[in-house]
Structure 1
Amino acid sequence: MHDNSDDPLCPECGAQLPPADPRFTVWCPACDWNVDPTGALAALTPTERARRDERLARQEQALERMPRDGAPGPSWSAPACAATALATVVNLITIALAGTGVWLLVTGTWPQRVLGALEVAVAVALRPRRPRIPQRTLDRAEAPALHAVIDRVATELGTVPAHLVAVDARFGPAYSLPGPRGRRVLILGLPLWEALAPDQRVALIAGELAHDAGRRRVSARWTAAALTSLTVWTDLFRPGRSRQARQDALYTGAGFSATGPQTGGTASGLVALVEMITWPLLAIPDCAAGRTHRLLTGLSVRSRAQSAYAADAAAARVASAESAEGMVRALLLAETAAFALERFSRSADDAWRELRTHLATVPETERARRLRLSERQGSATTGDSLPPTHLRLRAMGHLPHAEPTVAPSPEEADAMDAELDAVRQALAEDLRTYYGK
């Protein structure tokens, strides 16, 4: 038993601090002292705090609407229907712009053809971008055991299995429909994959494949295309804003402040004059595009939240609630894994082995700090497209505990590991090159 008589006391509340690990932050679970050593939470402005609270309230509302017995929710929720309808209107405007532009180019007079060419150019800028697939991929011939488990999970969920598995260095999975043929690509982030036990890996696969139920992926791509169009519209209606943002990013990246060296001269003066004249004409469409973007973003976030909770419930049915919960808790280590992987890529002969050892020895106090920080931030640990991790864990607390329907044998788990060896070595070499070992 640990003798905690010599452990230091919290400078805020006087409570005894947990045993210190030199690799991680010392904090106080009693009063949250030093739970955020970077001070990011304290630096939030009142407006940013209000937005955080509003976002968290929407996420909690989405959680309350989910069934508490683990039953699958409806394929289409009210936010999803509203987001799809609004995205359809935006995308139809882009399609109409392209159609009228081509029609003017073919049948119009010279002035009309100039207008048509401009419309076609804008429509090209508004086009949806095809998602990129990671370079490292595994087909069925290269990874038969992995694809066999994925097929069994897809059968349990009643969805289409992945045609291809891609592997990269992100901390988390993804699912992509990159082409018009509808080929499905399951992307496994190797750092998270290495941190999971075999049963938790099944939960990871099930959670990603569950998003494909009810054609949620197609709806998400349709909505993403509309959001891309609205972003381009706002840049077109207020070019000075996007140019200033690029200048700020350039100055910041070069070590100058945004109020530092400024470009000047006749050219910038003429641009400013043109913007001053055209601003009254563009203010109304700019405001409309901005408000539509915010509305569609809010609807999309609520829809993705409900989809994420349903996917977690599906993962629990396939791999057990304990396995799904362990997989979600592992997401808390995203930042820890990123720093460790960079360090091991520079110094270790086998970065992935060192990463597995490092993540397996993270103390419970650090995991608790990460969870508390996620709760106070009101956002997910791996991106704002998912609900906050603590809400996902709360939802899993209501799921029924049952035996897994897909459980790989030890031989299958070893075979899956062996099939990833070549990818591990290739990614380790890529990371060594990237970090300049």
Structure 2
Amino acid sequence: MSAHAWYVTWCAACDWNVDPGAPDPDRGRLAQVRRRLARRHGEQLAEEIGRGASGDGRGGPDGSTVLAFGLALLVHGVTAGLFLAAVALIVGGWHTGIQPVLGVLLLVGVAVLLPRPGRSPSGPAVLYRADAPGLFGLIDEVGAAVGTTGVHAVVVDASFNAAVSTYGYRGRRVLVLGLGLWEILTPQERVALLGHELGHFANGDVRSSFLMHGALRSLVEWHFVLRSVNHDSIVDWFLNALTFLPRWTVYGLIHLLDGLTLRASQRAEYLADTGAARAGSSAAAITLLDRLLVGDGVEAHLRRESMAAARAGHRSAGRDAGREVREEREAAERELWERLAARISVVPENEYERLRRVSARRGHSVDDTHPPTHLRRRCLASADPQPARVVFDGSREQAVAAELAPARAVLARRVIRDHAG
């Protein structure tokens, strides 16, 4: 066994101490059955993707997806029916005086339930094409490699994450780029990351569709309206009894719709991984998945940086000490992302192997929209090797780094001063 102060000591031969932070095992027979089914279905889906089922692995919608869309249409149909009822109350009952009032109240409820497009991107670091032509050019090239177009905006934050979504009624695309992830990747792994995220646009994602997302949002709003109130009076008891059945019906529909779209969401992740391999190469896509395993280490490092700056601030006393602390804090902000990349670059292969085994041992979560990393890695490794269609190096990499420099500075300042004050 190899021991290191920064990492878990474990035995590669017998897996002793491989997962010291393992969650408590599922209690109860039902929970165990659900986990076994989730594992079995996850393995089956991975095999289908690995075999290239239905030609390219996409195939048509399965029965669960069709049923989910039918349920979503039913939810929207209820909203449409409420709208028609409101109009009928206002128009047909104008002479009564009370019916128009009820109709207006019903219209307000319908307005709450209507599906809405995403909001325009906001935050301290939002980039548009004029702000970062090199970055957007890279995104456009990666999009073409995976069979789609680029994005309209890029939101840069400090998270260990990346994601895509749409905003506005025209469905403009936005990419969220977390520096906590971006900064620890090699250039080709960054291309693979972009290929994965844009692959969601190329292959489609059931849950992010306007119809499905709107239905889930409507059900959540219904559940909020029907929530139980404090049992302070007989009126509260009466209202809770009146809303008990509809509240739990809506709650069940939320979970049903979520469960019906789970398999499609996991399939979308596998297909997005093929986009990562197509754009950045199979090797880069596989090592990207390994990098995703060290998210806890990245977040812990950023917390340590912030807390170290806070401790330095508490030690300050007097003008000279205060100036020294400010200089230390500014240096910490300037070097934050470089130190993070350096810290992650020395993670040994032994630790990556442990984390891969942890992923395999914990298996498939019952309600996880992402398949386990070890299954995604297996699918990429078993497929035909893909060369990189987009090469990101040299002056191009430097140009993108210069465009991201202002965002890096702003976000480093925010990370350091979250605890430093």
What range describes the TM-score normalised by the shorter chain of this pair?
0.7 to 0.9
1:115 matched to 2:102? The reply is: yes
| Aligned counterpart, 2:152 | 163
Distance 1:175 1:217 in 2: 14
- Quote how far apart the aligned CAs of 1:192 are: 0.7
Structure 1, unpaired ranges of 5+: 1-17, 245-266
CA contact (8 A) 1:72 1:310 kept: no
Distance 2:61 2:397 in 1: 37
| Aligned counterpart, 1:223 | 212
User: Of residues 145, 152, 161 in structure 1, which corresponds to 2:141?
Assistant: 152
Question: How large is the RMSD of aligned CA atoms in angstroms?
Answer: 2.7
Percent of paired sites with the same residue: 34
1:268 matched to 2:232? The reply is: yes
| Aligned counterpart, 1:317 | 278
- Quote how far apart the aligned CAs of 1:75 are: 6.4
| Aligned counterpart, 2:319 | none
Distance 2:276 2:89 in 1: 52
Normalising by the residue count of structure 2, what TM-score does the alignment of the two structures yield?
0.83
User: Of residues 48, 51, 63 in structure 1, which corresponds to 2:34?
Assistant: 51
Distance 1:354 1:76 in 2: 46
Alignment of 1:204-243 (within 5 A): 204-216=193-205, 220-237=209-226, 239-240=227-228
1:176-207 deviation digits (Å, cap 9, x = unpaired)? 11111121111111111111111111111111
| 1:110 to 1:375, Cα distance in 2 relative to 1, 3 A | farther
Distance 1:64 1:117 in 2: 53
Distance 1:85 1:214 in 2: 21
The amino acid across from 1:170 in the alignment is S
The amino acid across from 1:300 in the alignment is T
> Which segment drifts farther, 70-79 or 424-433?
70-79
1:104 matched to 2:89? The reply is: yes
The amino acid across from 1:90 in the alignment is V
1:332 matched to 2:293? The reply is: yes
- Quote how far apart the aligned CAs of 1:290 are: 3.2
1:119-172 deviation digits (Å, cap 9, x = unpaired)? 223323323454453511122222121111111111222212111211112212
User: Of residues 381, 386, 389 in structure 2, which corresponds to 1:405?
Assistant: 389
Structure 2, unpaired ranges of 5+: 309-331
Distance 2:126 2:132 in 1: 10
| 1:158 to 1:39, Cα distance in 2 relative to 1, 3 A | closer
CA contact (8 A) 1:87 1:222 kept: yes
Q: What secondary structure, in the 3-state scheme, does the structure 2 residue paired with 1:196 have?
A: coil
| 1:299 to 1:330, Cα distance in 2 relative to 1, 3 A | same
Normalising by the residue count of structure 1, what TM-score does the alignment of the two structures yield?
0.81
Distance 1:39 1:225 in 2: 36
Distance 1:362 1:292 in 2: 44
The amino acid across from 2:211 in the alignment is W
Q: What secondary structure, in the 3-state scheme, does the structure 1 residue paired with 2:130 have?
A: coil
Distance 2:252 2:412 in 1: 44
Alignment of 1:25-104 (within 5 A): 25-42=8-25, 46-66=29-49, 68=51, 72-74=56-58, 76-78=60-62, 79-104=64-89
- Quote how far apart the aligned CAs of 1:82 are: 3.3
- Quote how far apart the aligned CAs of 1:317 are: 1.7
The amino acid across from 1:273 in the alignment is W
| Aligned counterpart, 1:251 | none
| 1:427 to 1:94, Cα distance in 2 relative to 1, 3 A | same
| Aligned counterpart, 1:358 | 343
Aligned length: 390
Distance 2:352 2:383 in 1: 22
Q: What secondary structure, in the 3-state scheme, does the structure 2 residue paired with 1:420 have?
A: helix
| Aligned counterpart, 1:278 | 242
